[in-house]
Each structure stands twice: as structure tokens, then as C-alpha cells.
Amino acid sequence: AQSVAQPEDQVNVAEGNPLTVKCTYSVSGNPYLFWYVQYPNRGLQFLLKYITGDNLVKGSYGFEAEFNKSQTSFHLKKPSALVSDSALYFCVVLEGSGNTGKLIFGQGTTLQVKP
Amino acid sequence: DSGVTQTPKHLITATGQRVTLRCSPRSGDLSVYWYQQSLDQGLQFLIQYYNGEERAKGNILERFSAQQFPDLHSELNLSSLELGDSALYFCASSPPGLRETQYFGPGTRLLVL
């Protein structure tokens, strides 16, 4: 079975500093990996995905993620954090084939950006 | 706005009761997925329907059932409710052939008292 792990429950960053939210994955075959964000009292928003191609994936709101096959990691990064980036971030892997699409979520990492 | 709608937004009920959550997918999307977000279990996949047929099943309790209707809207039925069923229930939909692109609705927050 596919799985993802987010080793940090919370990440604290000062505004303007770079941020990294870590994720490692365990999959058979080629992974389909995603990052989603959940703002307080709101639904889930898609940030970016890696399916194939360039290991550096760019997404919404200035976020990017680096796929590293040798380290089985897919860390989320942003060069300069904003207070408005404070939210709950999920690393996600897709399981299934054909028309089957089961998203497996990590436990989530709360990002706190302080002014 | 993802284009996926869910009703109701909030639901408060008592243990032992039965509720129905409704989801309307984006226009043209054939797949509907249900997810549950709780403090204990995190965010987990429950079930997927594709064009009216069940396609995948996750950790969905036997007390829970779902269906997708000919107009492609879906309902999640939760029965014999327990306190632990209190959670945020999300519905998502995806376009044909793009199972990796799931658009999430705003969720239904269920509180069982």
C-alpha cells in the first residue's frame, strides 16, 4: 500500500524567511504525489503535483516541491514565507489505476508564520 | 470555489440517528469521492463512485453507505451514529480520465451529541 509521512506536526517560520515542510513517501511503482493546503474553517485546496518529468515542481501561491527518488522525499518549499501562508499542509499520494483514484493523506503539518 | 457543492454545511444530531450528506460534482465530472477528516483518524478516503458504480473502497464503516445517482450527484448515508463519527466530511470530484485531479467541496461538519 502507498503511504506518505510528514515527520513534523508543526513548523514555525518568521515572515520573509524560507520555509520547508517535509514529506517522505513509500510507494510501489511511480508515485503520483501532491500537496494540499487547508486554511482554518475552509476546504482543501490543491497546491501542486508531481507525476513525471522535472523533479522541481512549481505550484500555486509561490510554492514549489522537490521530488527526490533516492531519498523518497517530496518536500514543500517557498523562498519567502508570508503570514497568510499559515495553514495546515498535507502531503498526499494517489493510489489506484484506471478510473480508481484514492488519495492517501499524510497526517498534516501546521505551518505557523510569525510577523 | 471548486464547483463541488455539499449540503448541508453543518449538521448536529444525536447518537443512534441517521443522516444523509449530499454532494453535487462539477459539471462533466463522472467520479465522486468521499473523505472523512477527524481528530483521531486524520483525513482518510472512504469511497469512490464512477458514473454510478462503486470503484474503490477505503476504511468505510458498515454503518456508512453511499450511492451515486444517474444525475451524478452522490449521497453518503451514516446510520446508528456514534460520538466518534463527529467529523468533517468532504466530497471531491474529478474529470473523466483525470483521477489525479480531484476538486474538493467545502465539506459538511457533522457533530454527534
CB B106 within 8 A of CB B9: yes
**A90 CB contacts (<8 Å, ≥6 apart)?**
A6, A35, A36, A37, A38, A44, A105, A106, A108, A109, B43
pLDDT for B2: 86
Min CA distance, A38 vs chain B (Å)? 10
Cell output for A62 = 509561490
> In Å, what is the CA distance from A106 to each residue of A22, A35, A53, A92, B103?
11, 10, 23, 6, 18
Asked if A27 is an interface residue toward chain B (Cβ–Cβ < 8 A), one would say no
Query: Is the bond preceding B8 in cis, omega lying within 30 degrees of 0?
Result: yes
Residue B21, class by beta-carbon neighbours within 10 Å (0-12 exposed, 13-18 middle, 19+ buried)?
A: buried
Nearest to A102 among B2, B56, B104 (CB): B56
> What pLDDT, in 10s, does the model give residues A17-69?
999 999 999 988 888 999 999 998 778 999 999 998 899 999 999 999 999 99
Distance CA B79, CA B16 (A): 7
Q: What is d(CA B89, CA B38) in angstroms, rounded to the nearest whole number?
A: 9
Give the C-alpha separation, A97 to B61, whole Å: 23
| Burial class of residue B52, CB neighbours in 10 A (0-12, 13-18, 19+) | middle
Tens digit of pLDDT at every position of chain B (113 positions):
889 999 999 999 999 999 999 999 999 999 999 999 998 889 999 999 999 999 999 989 999 999 999 999 999 999 999 999 999 999 999 998 888 889 999 999 999 99
Is B99 in contact with A45 (Cβ distance < 8 A)? no
Measured in angstroms, the CA of A56 and the nearest CA of chain B are apart by 18
